[in-house]
Chain A
């Protein structure tokens, strides 16, 4: 069974803090990796793809360790608007996305 595991949180941080989320996946044949964010009762929205070499998009940095089957997301200088659930997502099959249950982030003033 293909699984993606995440710490459900919530992570409570003050504005300006740096916060890191981790994720592990079970299928060593997984091909593509993503972080999505989901606001309460809304659809998942792509935050960033995750590449083997690591990649950065503004305040967000994603890392992938294929040997350990481990993905991370680092958010620097947290904003109130970053409050959401962060979903670790893995593409296993031809098109299938497997989602983690998500890690909730609450950023407070």
Chain B
């Protein structure tokens, strides 16, 4: 069964450093998403991406965040200058279309900012 993959599984970084989280969505999917889950809290939407541009973004997704699809397979989330409160699990998801289509989640990258 096709699945979303994410690398790395864990990332530890110093406050103020830049991190790039990588995702490979399911190959025939056209819509890509990033979510985050702070430990003990709910999953929160960050951004959706389609046709090489952002479709929707939440208030969490401020100027320190950016997304990119640098090639035909990868989808990345960059955090420019990490803060302690960016420590969370970051999930990538993809779907074949929007509307009622299911979003399939990757296993996540656990980011710890020290």
Contacts and interface: CB of A to CB of B under 8 A. Distances in A.
Interface residues of B, number: 26
Contact of B91 (A31, A43, A93): A43
A38 B41 CA distance: 12
Contacts of B45: 96-98
Interface stretch (B11-19, B67-75, B80-88, B100-108): B100-108
B76 interface: no
SS class, residues of chain B in contact with chain A: strand
Given A95-B31, A99-B44, A101-B41, A43 B108 contact: yes
B112 to A, nearest CB: 13
A43 B100 contact: no
Given A94-B98, A95-B31, A99-B42, A45 B56 contact: no
Interface of A: 31-32, 34, 38, 41-46, 49, 87, 91, 93-102
For the complex of A and B, the 5 pairs showing the least CB-CB separation, nearest first, are: A43-B105, A99-B43, A95-B48, A101-B42, A99-B42
